[in-house]
Structure 1
Amino acid sequence: MQSFFGRANYNYKEKYLLEANLRSDISSRFAKGNRLGIFPSVSAGWRLDKENFLENVEAVSELKLRGSWGQLGNQNIGSGPGDELDSGVYPYQSTLAFDGFGYPFSDNVRPGVGLNNLVDQDITWETTTVTDFGLDFSLFDRKFYGSVDYYVKETVDILRELQIDLSSGLNPPVVNLGAMTNKGWDIVLGHQNRINDDFRYSINGNVSWFKNRLKTFGDKEIGERFIDEESYAYQDWYMWEADGFFQSEDEINNSPVQPEPGKVGFIKLKDQNGDNVVDGDDRIHIDGRYPAYVYGLNLTANYKNIDLRMFWEGVEGTKNYIARDPFRQDGGTDVAWLIEAWTPENPNSRLPAVYYETAEERRSIRYINSFWLWDSSYFRLKNITLGYSFPDEVLEKTPFNKLRFYLAAENYLTFQKDYPIDVNPEASGIDSYPFRKTISMGVNITF
């Protein structure tokens, strides 16, 4: 990599602010003629509180409109096995390999050399463009403050593997293909105040939400639980829709044919196209791949020598796929399978029936379907700290400049929906360890 940067700033009477940047990057990971990328950006601000029509309005401490537009490039396209793209360090170059190309000669297999990958020598920088419009304000001697941002983030010429037929016998080339957008809002609101010399406090919160869409992609790609398809979210949930449990043999016999033999108490899948057979054509997009919004809350208070700080965070409207087998190799069977599973006496259960059977047979409750998409919305007390600092008149009799004792807790409270299985709301897969709850005591000493 070789990069050059340039920046220019302009400020007129603290009212009109302008900044321009120009960045050029040269990468050896692209072929000659495609290595240079030019990425400009510009931002502007207007301090309305400095204008005559607001200068004498005491309620307005600060009011600024701003906007920005900028681009950045990406050249990270994998550098070997285990990376997102197994394309090698220089994906535009054709390379020969010895692996897998042996051929028989007489009575022995002799080493051979062959081509593994197709290449596109015209690949170049992937480019992301971000446009942002914002408002910053503070009112009543900065007791109330906040900011509002609306942004559009668009990535084009996405570096990815080309969709080719497997009959080619070669790995696909890396190409510039695809475009994706994210549009969203970020809002911060806060309040701070000093009641008297002994007590002051502050509270501020933030909320963010966005929409993700694949604008161009090519043919849709379907994975085990996800799909990439134009006009939908990237890696959108895609699976069969659960339609309750089979309550009887008659219901099994009168229902659409399932991908695995049905049993009483097992999950029933919905026939979306009405052909009386549940197959790959009945999988659908399901909402919840990304949160509807995320939010946070900070609280601080100081009374004389006592200080309190807490931080809350939350996520709303997201779903995680968490499928738990009632029989686990480590013996860690969830208690819920013993008391919440379907039985003839418990037909309105929250978990499918449990049978003694082989792992192969149990697939009929574990095939990918929406039953295992748990709503992982939550509100969590991330951390809280209560402290006490000794006053100066006490410290004068000690060798310390500052002495503070504190009690802190982390991840101590979490509010989420009631699930039959113990689910970590921040789980990223089928099984994951929950965050630890931590309580600590300590002392801060300054000499």
Structure 2
Amino acid sequence: MTSVEHILDLRDFIEASPSSFHAAREAGRRLAAAGFTQLDEAAAWPVHGKFFMIRDGAVMAWIVPEDATTTTGFNILGAHTDSPSFKLKPKPTTGRFGWLQAGVEVYGGPLINSWLDRELQFAGRLVDRDGTETLVATGPLLRFPQLAIHLDRAVNDGLKLDKQYQMNPVWGQGDAGQADLLGLLADRAGVDAATIGGYDIIVADTQPGQVFGANNEFFAAGRMDNLTSVHAGLVALIAAADKPAANVIPVLAAFDHEEIGSGSRSGACGPILEDVLTRVSDGLGASVSDRRRAFSNSFCVSADAGHAVHPNYGERHDPANLPVLNGGPLLKINANQRYATDGVGAAVWAGLCEKAGAPYQEFVSNNNVPCGSTIGPLTATRLGIRTLDVGTPLLSMHSARELCGVDDPHHLALITGVFFTAAV
């Protein structure tokens, strides 16, 4: 697969994944098409083979080779399926002055102004009272309309949006007392609104991803933080099934809820990854001591998005570390362990990149700009597995529509492919 082929496949994956639930389902569809077997958490699991499981908006996938032993290590690519957005509140149908609007709550840390004046959709899951889940994606339905400059002459001197009162999208006209947004969603999903007991619905962009630039070197789309990493891991794991490998168990761990702290049953602070690793280890006949030895032999690459240098805000970056688009994935480093990379991990990453024939760049924050964090430190802390942090460089991170280089996601997949098939 070339960089262009990879980026077009990433575009299709993003378009099929407007919510974390859709991303997990689409990953599962691709894995099943590649011969992976979906497992039920409530059932007994087979040991050797290609498997995946879905828990809410998270997906875990792995390959257990025939020569795996009780102390075989796990090579884990960690990523997340969620992105900053807005989530539908209870009693969602609102409106005034003849407008139908929706009550939404801010999810994570979106660049709020980037969501203005776009044709957006609702996407996520509807849950019947019997527990049946139905995914829904409405297509273009709503919009956050901006106030005209004629009514706010100072808007270009600084825009501050009130999250409660000014971020209520419009989705139609009529009497809010007579309208039913939940009923509309149920109709779009083909279910009976009267049976719905709960929902997890977010706002997502509808504009397809686009390659552009003087030499078609750029790619813009929504949710690249962090579907670039989920997709790279998915592509690499599917390819790894057909390659000779060292005695390792490759694992794709795509968590949900990273953007709000990972504290959930499907997030990196929860037990989902440990559940999978323990059940695989148990299936191989491992004792508690064997499992700890296997974890000691394991390695996790936490793959998230990172910051490329911004041409208009160069002072916000470290002056000696200025990563660019198409310069390779980032090795993310922070002295205070907001990223989990240490010297050993950095050396492992350098070796993987050399074997893959792919470039990489180092990222460290400006001392005056607080550093974000990822699932990396959480995984290292929970499981004691050595972890490093990497990511695709972006501009406009947490925007409704982010920007990356065409080559970088492909390079991340190539490096991950080496990682999934090599002892580290």
So what's the TM-score if we normalise by structure 1?
0.21
Report which of the two has the higher share of helix: 2
Higher strand share: 1
State the TM-score, normalizing by the size of structure 2.
0.22
